[in-house]
Amino acid sequence: MYGEIGCGLPAVNTLVYGLHPEPDMAEQLTDDDWIKQGLKALARDGFTALKADPLAKTMGVSRGSFYWHFADLRAFHAALLKRWREIAAEQIIADVEADSDEPLKALLRRTFGARLDLERAVRNWAAFDAAAQTAVRAIDRRRLDYIEELLRKRGFEAATARARAQILYWTFLGFALSGPPSPAARLEGLLEEILRMVSA
């Protein structure tokens, strides 16, 4: 309902290899700059793009800058996965709660209408990496719990809310991992039908 790593490489101690970052590098770039670039690369090119050298080249700096901000690739990947959870679950939930008196409907529109390249990329990554798999399981649980909570607020018994939340989430995952997005008018009709089905 929501839209919108580990490469197996050994850590490199850049100080051993003499790759000291430029003196003002910490001021030029932040951890957040690297995380944002990493998420872009992940969504566009997949998890194999999450390496220091190609990311540094894209950002126009030496790889010493990367190791100035992150101890190794594992630390960088952990930061990426943490940010993914924030933007793909927590931020969406907060926005839905703050801006709508029909949170389930708002959630459907927000998530099914989002670009889902990053969702697909992280789930593909999880097929090859234990840390990414753990992150995916955690976000799945968080999202399911929230959908179940919304359905219980609509008056459904716990068991029914749990079952319908699972069906609704499976529907989202199928949509996220399928082909090109549906035209806006058709998507709106599908979302209304989904809402009727889970609310009946």
Per residue, what are the HEC states of the chain?
CCCCCCCCCCCCCCCCCCCCCCCCHHHHCCHHHHHHHHHHHHHHHCHHHCCHHHHHHHHCCCHHHHHHHCCCHHHHHHHHHHHHHHHHHHHHHHHHHHHCCCHHHHHHHHHHCCCCHHHHHHHHHHCCCHHHHHHHHHHHHHHHHHHHHHHHHCCCCHHHHHHHHHHHHHHHHHHHCCCCCCCHHHHHHHHHHHHHHHHC
Answer yes or no: is pLDDT of 180 > 80: no
Higher-pLDDT residue of 1 and 181 is 181
Whole-number pLDDT of residue 16 = 35
What percent of the chain lies above the pLDDT cut of 70? 86
Whole-number pLDDT of residue 23 = 44
Q: Which domain holds residue 74?
A: 1-200
Whole-number pLDDT of residue 100 = 74
Whole-number pLDDT of residue 184 = 81
CATH number, domain containing residue 18: 1.10.357.10
Give pTM, 2 decimals.
Answer: 0.81
Whole-number pLDDT of residue 1 = 59
pLDDT range class, residue 38, cuts 50, 70, 90: very high
Q: Among 14-18, 115-119, 146-150, 180-184, where is mean pLDDT lowest? A: 14-18
Q: Summarize pLDDT for 55-82 with one digit per residue, the tens.
A: 999 999 988 899 999 999 999 999 999 9
Look at the chain and report how many structural domains it folds into.
Answer: 1
Whole-number pLDDT of residue 3 = 57
Answer yes or no: is pLDDT of 5 > 60: no
